[in-house]
């Protein structure tokens, strides 16, 4: 079946512009996660959606970052007034939530470059 998909795969933007990154999770997965991964670094948690519950936004680095998930499926991560330090790969993951097992399936990521 289809895995997690993300678009665009690459995005180059100028400093100060807004960008939108999209994530399509695996059908039926109720949990969706956004991570940021700078070159050679680990997985930095950004935000977590679980069903109809209020999202956990505790990882968002500033108020320039926001995300929404419409209809419990597709999610969009928006970065306003981009800065050069926002350059990174943005990874989305989704998972079932049952039985205490949380295998997260990752998308291929969006590589964001802010000039």
Partner 1 sequence: GENVEQHPSTLSVQEGDSAVIKCTYSDSASNYFPWYKQELGKRPQLIIDIRSNVGEKKDQRIAVTLNKTAKHFSLHITETQPEDSAVYFCAASEGSNYQLIWGAGTKLIIKP
List b or e across 43-77, with b for residues whose CB sees 16 or more CB atoms inside 10 angstroms: eeebbbbbeeeebeeeebeeeebebebeeebebeb
Among positions 42, 70, 71, 85, the unique one binding partner 1 when judged by CB under 8 A: 42
Most distant CA pair in the chain, distance = 45
Distance between CA 40 and CA 94 in Å, rounded?
Answer: 23
Instruction: List the interface residues with partner 1, window 3-32 (CB under 8 A).
Output: 31
Among positions 19, 21, 91, 114, the unique one binding partner 1 when judged by CB under 8 A: 91
Cβ of residue 103: shortest distance to partner 1, in angstroms? 5
Of residues 13 and 37, the one with the C-beta less far from partner 1: 37
List of residues contacting partner 1 (CB under 8 A): 31, 33, 41-43, 45, 48, 50, 56, 91, 95, 97, 100-104, 106-109
């Amino acid at each position: 079946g289809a895995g997690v998909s993300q678009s665009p795969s690459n995005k180059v933007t100028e400093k100060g512009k807004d960008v939108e990154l999209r994530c399509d999770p695996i059908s039926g997965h109720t949990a969706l996660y956004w991570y940021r991964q700078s070159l050679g670094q680990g997985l930095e948690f950004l935000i977590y959606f679980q069903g109809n519950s209020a999202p956990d936004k505790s990882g968002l680095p500033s108020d320039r970052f926001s995300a929404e998930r419409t209809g419990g499926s597709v999610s969009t991560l928006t970065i306003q007034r981009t800065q050069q330090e926002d350059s990174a790969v943005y990874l989305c993951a989704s998972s079932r939530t049952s039985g205490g097992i949380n295998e997260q399936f990752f998308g291929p990521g969006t590589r964001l470059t802010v000039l």
